[in-house]
């Protein structure tokens, strides 16, 4: 179990673990149809959402965060430690998978881009991971832009790989970043850590 990489502050946003009072705010946009149009996991049962988010502080693999601006929850970020692949004996717990959802009321204000940066910072500088990946529908232009703006490298375009209940088989794009790439990207600028 790692120490939590949160809280951190970037661009006026506070990234922190969720607590009970946040659950209603998360529920208010997690099942929004415009959000679920782009999610592989669509409807999330409210009790399950509450249980999952409140379990994060004691999870050895889930380092998801809520994003707060001026005291209001405006987005959620997902960060899971996953096992890489390889022959028996390969190191485990070295890779991360990120994702994010911005409350649609606050879309287009740079919150998605800042969240991706915060998740990469948490994964590499906080948890010491070696490789982080993310995936999106190829036609999710906002998410693709968020990942590219965060400096992630497209390394996969899987054709008709992802089933969508309204649109059928969709292309999926995969992005990745290694720790040394992050170090080069980040330079010397570090987000403000809050203790
Ligand atoms: C994807 C998502 C997180 C983007 O968040 P956001 O806060 O609106 O994004 P930002 O304001 O940081 O914008 C990031 C970039 O995407 C671009 N963008 C935003 N909405 C866009 C859209 N509908 N079409 C094309 N580009 C778009 C912005 O112009 C910006 O590009 P720039 O850096 O060149 O200026 C948000 O739309 C969302 O939560 N969508 C639903 C859930 C989802 O798709 N999650 C990701 C699953 S992989």
Task: List the domain boundaries for the chain.
Answer: 8-185
Residue indicated by tokens 């999710």: 140
Quote the ligand 1 centre to 108 CA distance (angstroms). Answer: 6
- Ligand 1 touching residue 112 (CB < 6 A): yes
Closest by CA position to 29, among listed 73, 83, 94, 81: 73
pLDDT in tens, 125-165: 999 999 999 999 999 999 999 999 999 999 999 999 999 99
Q: Which atom of ligand 1 is nearest to the CA of 75?
A: 39
The pLDDT of residue 22: 98
pLDDT in tens, 14-42: 999 999 999 999 999 999 999 999 999 99
- Ligand 1 touching residue 116 (CB < 6 A): no
Q: Read off the pLDDT band of 187 (50, 70, 90).
A: confident
- List residues bridging with 85 in a β-sheet: none
Mutate to test the pocket of ligand 1, among 146, 154, 167 (most ligand atoms within 8 A of CB): 146
Q: In terms of CATH architecture, what is 8-185? A: 3-Layer(aba) Sandwich (3.40)
């Amino acid at each position: 179990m790692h120490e939590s990489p949160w809280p951190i502050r970037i661009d006026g946003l506070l990234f922190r673990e969720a607590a009970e009072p946040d659950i209603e705010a998360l529920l208010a946009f997690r099942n929004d149809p415009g959000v679920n149009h782009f999610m592989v996991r669509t409807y999330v049962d409210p009790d399950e959402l509450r249980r999952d988010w409140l379990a994060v502080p004691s999870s050895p693999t889930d380092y998801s965060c809520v994003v707060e601006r001026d005291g209001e929850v405006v987005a959620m970020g997902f960060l899971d430690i996953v096992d890489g692949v390889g022959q028996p004996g390969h190191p485990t717990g070295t890779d991360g998978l990120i994702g994010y959802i911005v409350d649609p009321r606050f879309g287009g204000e740079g919150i998605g881009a800042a969240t991706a940066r915060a998740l990469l910072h948490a994964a590499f500088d906080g948890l010491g991971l070696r490789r982080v990946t993310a995936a999106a529908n190829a036609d999710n232009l906002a998410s693709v832009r968020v990942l590219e703006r965060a400096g992630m490298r497209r390394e996969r375009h899987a054709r008709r790989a992802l089933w969508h209940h309204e649109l059928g088989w969709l292309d999926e794009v995969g992005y990745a970043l290694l720790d040394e790439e992050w170090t080069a990207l980040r330079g010397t600028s570090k987000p403000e850590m809050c203790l």
